[in-house]
C-alpha cells in the first residue's frame, strides 16, 4: 500500500489536541487525512485535509465517515463501537479494534479483563448502581476509604473520586461504577507500547507522573522515571503482557501504580497517543504520534529511546477564569533553556481544561524538573 502522496485516506475519529499533534506527522509524511468531530471549533480543523462534522457516538455518523477512508483510527475512546464493528465486518481496517475499544470503554469490563488475563490490578467491586455501594458498606462488604470510578465516560480526573465517608458519595452519577481499593503507592508510572499488525512491539521509557492534588490531573510527566532499574523492568514487562493480552494495533498507554513494596499494579489503559507521551516530541528519536502512524499503517516501528531527559508540564485553565483564552507570560517561559510550548488551539478556557503543554528538555533530569516548576509558576492560562 502506498500511503505517501497518494490517494490513500486515513480517518481520525476525534478532532482534539491528540489528533492535532498526530496531524503534524501525517503532514510530514504527506498522508491524506479526514477528521470527524462534533465541534466546528475542533483543534484538528485547520490541519486536516478534510474535516467532517458529526457526533462520534452516533452510529450513522461514524459508519458513513468510516466508509470514506481506507484506515480508521481514534484520538478519543468515546466513539460508537457498534459502527466500528460493522465496518470491520465489511473489511475496513480499524485500529484499535472495536473489540479492544469495547473492553476499554467500560472500566468494569477493563478491570475484569485484567483479572481474566492474570494482570496485576488493585482489588475492586462492581456495582450496577451507585445506591448499591451504600448497601454494601452498611453490610460490611466494603470499607472506607476506596476509589469510586464511573464505569463509562470518565476523562481527565472526571469520573474518579476518593471516597472517605458517606457524604463523598453525594452528587455522584447514579449509574454503573466500580469501587477500587485505595492503593498506598509511591509513584504513578506509565509505559507506552507500540504494536503493528505484524506483531512487532516497542516500548517507550517508563515515565513518572506527578498529579495535581485536587483536580486529579497530571501536572508533570518526568522521563525517565526516577525509579530503580528493577522496578522499571517490571513495569515494562507488565505493559508488554497487557499489550499482548489486548492484541491491539497502534499505541497502548498503560498507567500503573508502584506500591510501597515495589509491586506494579495496572490502573488503566488508553489505546491511543497519551498525555504521558507528549515529551517524546522533543525528547525521543521517534515521537509517540509518528509511532502511532507507523503502527496502524503496519510500517516498521521507530526507535523509542530518549535523546535527552524530558519533563512535560500540562497547561490547564486557571481557576476562576472562563471565556476567550489568554496565555500570560508565554514569552517569559520561552526565555528559559530547552522550553517548547504547545498550544492546542482551543479558543475557550475554563478551570482545569487542558489547553496546552510545555516540554522542558535538559541533559540533567533534576534541572529539567526545576525549570518545569518555574514554567508552572510563571505561565497562566486565563481569559479576557
Report the CATH number that the domain containing residue 74 is assigned in CATH. 3.40.50.20
30 plus 170 within the same structural domain: no
359 and 309 Cβ atoms separated by less than 8 Å:
no
Report the CATH number that the domain containing residue 256 is assigned in CATH. 3.30.470.20
Domain assignment of residue 111, yes or no? no
Whether residue 331 is annotated as binding a ligand: the answer is no
- Cell numbers standing for residue 31: 498522508
| Distance (Å, whole) CA 297 – CA 1 | 9
Can you give the pTM of this predicted structure?
A: 0.96
pLDDT value, residue 45: 95
149 and 180 Cβ atoms separated by less than 8 Å:
yes
DSSP one-letter string for 137-193: HHTTSS-SSEEEEESSS-BTTBTEEEE-SGGGGTTS--SSEEEEEPP-EEEEEEEEE
| Distance (Å, whole) CA 323 – CA 348 | 5
Contact residues for 58 (Cβ-Cβ < 8 A; gap 6+): 80
- What is the tally of structural domains in the chain? 3
DSSP 206: P
Q: Which domain holds residue 167?
A: 123-181
> Domain end: 158, 181, 204, which one?
181
Domain assignment of residue 108, yes or no? no
Give the dihedral of Cα atoms 278, 284, 289, 293; nearest 10 deg: -160
205 plus 261 within the same structural domain: yes
Report the CATH number that the domain containing residue 129 is assigned in CATH. 3.30.1490.20
237 plus 357 within the same structural domain: yes
245 plus 313 within the same structural domain: yes
pLDDT value, residue 216: 72
Phi, psi of 55 (to 5 degrees): -80, 125
| Distance (Å, whole) CA 197 – CA 239 | 18
153 plus 238 within the same structural domain: no
pLDDT value, residue 85: 98
213 plus 357 within the same structural domain: yes
Render each residue's pLDDT in the chain as its tens digit; 384 residues. 899 999 999 999 999 999 999 999 999 999 999 999 999 999 999 999 999 999 999 999 999 999 999 999 999 999 999 999 999 999 999 999 999 999 999 999 999 999 999 999 999 999 999 999 999 999 999 999 999 999 997 766 678 999 999 999 999 999 999 999 999 999 999 999 999 999 999 999 999 999 877 777 889 999 999 999 999 999 999 999 999 999 999 999 999 999 999 999 999 999 999 999 999 999 999 999 999 999 999 999 999 999 999 999 999 999 999 999 999 999 999 999 999 999 999 999 999 999 999 999 999 999 999 999 999 999 999 999
310 plus 285 within the same structural domain: yes
Domain assignment of residue 347, yes or no? yes
Helix residue ranges per DSSP H, 199-339: 229-246, 280-283, 288-296, 330-334
pLDDT value, residue 203: 98
- Tell the burial category of 167 from Cβ atoms under 10 Å away from its Cβ (0-12, 13-18, 19+): exposed
Whether residue 9 is annotated as binding a ligand: the answer is no
| Distance (Å, whole) CA 187 – CA 189 | 6
pLDDT value, residue 326: 97
- Tell the burial category of 9 from Cβ atoms under 10 Å away from its Cβ (0-12, 13-18, 19+): middle
Whether residue 149 is annotated as binding a ligand: the answer is yes
Domain assignment of residue 25, yes or no? yes
DSSP 302: P
Whether residue 84 is annotated as binding a ligand: the answer is no
Domain assignment of residue 63, yes or no? yes
170 plus 305 within the same structural domain: no
159 and 153 Cβ atoms separated by less than 8 Å:
yes
Whether residue 183 is annotated as binding a ligand: the answer is yes
Domain assignment of residue 113, yes or no? no
202 plus 137 within the same structural domain: no
29 plus 84 within the same structural domain: yes
CB neighbour burial string for 127-159, b if at least 16 within 10 angstroms, e if fewer = beebebbeeebeeeebeeebbbbbbbebebeeb
Domain assignment of residue 109, yes or no? no
71 plus 215 within the same structural domain: no
pLDDT value, residue 156: 65
State the residue for C-alpha cell 464511573. 150
50 and 34 Cβ atoms separated by less than 8 Å:
yes
Domain assignment of residue 101, yes or no? no
355 plus 268 within the same structural domain: yes
Amino acid at each position: 500500500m502506498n500511503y505517501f502522496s497518494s490517494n490513500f485516506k486515513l480517518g481520525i475519529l476525534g478532532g482534539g489536541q491528540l489528533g492535532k499533534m498526530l496531524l503534524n506527522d501525517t503532514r510530514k509524511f504527506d498522508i491524506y487525512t479526514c477528521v470527524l468531530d462534533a465541534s466546528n471549533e475542533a483543534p484538528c480543523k485547520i490541519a486536516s485535509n478534510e474535516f467532517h462534522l458529526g457526533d462520534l457516538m452516533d452510529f450513522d455518523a461514524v459508519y458513513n465517515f468510516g466508509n470514506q477512508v481506507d484506515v480508521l483510527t481514534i484520538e478519543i475512546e468515546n466513539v460508537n463501537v457498534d459502527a466500528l464493528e460493522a465496518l470491520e465486518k465489511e473489511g475496513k481496517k480499524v485500529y484499535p479494534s472495536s473489540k479492544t475499544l469495547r473492553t476499554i470503554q467500560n472500566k468494569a469490563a477493563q478491570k475484569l479483563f485484567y483479572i481474566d488475563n492474570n494482570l496485576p490490578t488493585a482489588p475492586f467491586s462492581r456495582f450496577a448502581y451507585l445506591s448499591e455501594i451504600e448497601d454494601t458498606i452498611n453490610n460490611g462488604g466494603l470499607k472506607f476509604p476506596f476509589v469510586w470510578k464511573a464505569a463509562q465516560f470518565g476523562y481527565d480526573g472526571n469520573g474518579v473520586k476518593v471516597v472517605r465517608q458517606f457524604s463523598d458519595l453525594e452528587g455522584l452519577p447514579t449509574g454503573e461504577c466500580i469501587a477500587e481499593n485505595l492503593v498506598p503507592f509511591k509513584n504513578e508510572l506509565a509505559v507506552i507500547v507500540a504494536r503493528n499488525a505484524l506483531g512487532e512491539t516497542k516500548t517507550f521509557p517508563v515515565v513518572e507522573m506527578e498529579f495535581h492534588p485536587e483536580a486529579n490531573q497530571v501536572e508533570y510527566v518526568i522521563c525517565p522515571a526516577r525509579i530503580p532499574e528493577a522496578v522499571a523492568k517490571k513495569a515494562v514487562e507488565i505493559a508488554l503482557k497487557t499489550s499482548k493480552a489486548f492484541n491491539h494495533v497502534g499505541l497502548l498507554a498503560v498507567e500503573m501504580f508502584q506500591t510501597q513494596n515495589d509491586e506494579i499494579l495496572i490502573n488503566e489503559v488508553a489505546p491511543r497517543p497519551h498525555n504521558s507521551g507528549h515529551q517524546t516530541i522533543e525528547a525521543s528519536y521517534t515521537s509517540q504520534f509518528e509511532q502511532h502512524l507507523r503502527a496502524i499503517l503496519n510500517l516498521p516501528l521507530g526507535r523509542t529511546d530518549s535523546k535527552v531527559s524530558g519533563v512535560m508540564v500540562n497547561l490547564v485553565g486557571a481557576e476562576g477564569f472562563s471565556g476567550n483564552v489568554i496565555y500570560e507570560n508565554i514569552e517569559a517561559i520561552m526565555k528559559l533553556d530547552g522550553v517548547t510550548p504547545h498550544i492546542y488551539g482551543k479558543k475557550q478556557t475554563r478551570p482545569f481544561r487542558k489547553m496546552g503543554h510545555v516540554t522542558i528538555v535538559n541533559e540533567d533530569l533534576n534541572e529539567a524538573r526545576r525549570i518545569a516548576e518555574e514554567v508552572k509558576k510563571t505561565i497562566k492560562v486565563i481569559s479576557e
